[in-house]
Structure 1
Amino acid sequence: MKMVVAYIRHEAFEPIRTELLDLGFPSLSISEVKGSGRQKGITERYRGAELTNYLRPKVKLECVVSDTDVQTIVDTVLKHARTGAVGDGKVFVMPVEEAYRVRTGEAGEEILQAHPDAATTTA
């Protein structure tokens, strides 16, 4: 099992979420985060003082999938998040030792199976 963690621009999230849902991967965790990298800060004037904010807002997307599905997730993120400009984000893939479903106590990759009819089911 692997965890795919992607830091992306806000506008890239919805197309990624839609395609992953269509591919049968409805299980995502997202967080609003701020960070700095090669993208320059934004300089603003506030009450006569010049302030530079180096922390840029991003969306952190996390998804745990079986080893065979990692490339599908990564390709989908890269396809929709890449603009070619500095600040597009990063994708990390990390190993996951074990996963458990809290409701039933099931463990292992069985709980990560892709949902082929995910787009047609309702929550």
Structure 2
Amino acid sequence: MKEIIAIVRMNKTGATKKALVDAGVAGFTAFKVMGRGQLVDDPAIVAERKAKMMALAGADEQDAEMLIDGFLDGHRLFPRRLFTILAHDEDADTIIEAIMAVNRTENGVGDGKIIVVPMLDAIRVRTGESGEEAV
């Protein structure tokens, strides 16, 4: 048994849910979380992301620029969605591929993380089943 933890962009939540259902996942849990990944050192990528974010910001450019700089320099956290999925060992690769397929972008940064953890046990509260039967 495996626990698959996926941290994805907020705008990829719907696509991720659909991909999980299409992959045959019986159930999953999703949380709104805040976090950040590794800082991007490439000034060209940072400048491109800042320009795109400023174009979307609209109203008060000074406040928007301060927020955007905070995101890009690591002082602020990004909103993300965290999915937890319990899976049989033989289903884990299919689920991981489904998550990766819908979350990979051409942005070069921030597509998320997938963490796979072995599970010792699972128990279905309603029936008391444990182990593989509970997944």
TM-score, scaled relative to structure 2: 0.72
Measure the CA separation in 2 of the matches of 1:39 and 1:33.
18
1:39/1:87 contact within 8 Å kept: no
2:133 to 102, 107, 110: 110
Measure the CA separation in 1 of the matches of 2:23 and 2:104.
19
Using a 3 Å threshold, how does the CA distance of structure 1 residues 39 and 89 change in structure 2: closer, same or farther?
farther
Match of 2:43 in 1: none
Measure the CA separation in 1 of the matches of 2:120 and 2:24.
23
Give 1:6-17 correspondences, 5 Å limit: 6-17=6-17
Aligned residues: 110
1:6/1:60 contact within 8 Å kept: yes
The letter of the residue matching 1:26 is A
Shift of 1:17: 1.2
Structure number with the higher helix fraction is: 2
Establish whether residue 58 from structure 1 lines up as the match of residue 80 from structure 2.
yes
The letter of the residue matching 2:15 is P
Unpaired segments ≥5 residues, structure 1: 113-123
The letter of the residue matching 2:20 is L
Q: Deviations over 1:40-91 (max 9, x none)?
A: 6979744xxx452420111001101011010011000100000032011110
Unpaired segments ≥5 residues, structure 2: 41-45, 55-60
The letter of the residue matching 1:80 is V
- % identical aligned pairs: 34
1:3/1:62 contact within 8 Å kept: yes
Shift of 1:24: 2.0
Match of 1:76 in 2: 98
Measure the CA separation in 1 of the matches of 2:27 and 2:123.
14
Match of 2:35 in 1: 35
Query: Could you say what the CA RMSD is over the residues aligned between the two structures, in angstroms?
Result: 2.3
| SS in structure 1 of the partner of residue 30 of structure 2 | strand
Structure number with the higher strand fraction is: 1
Shift of 1:32: 0.5
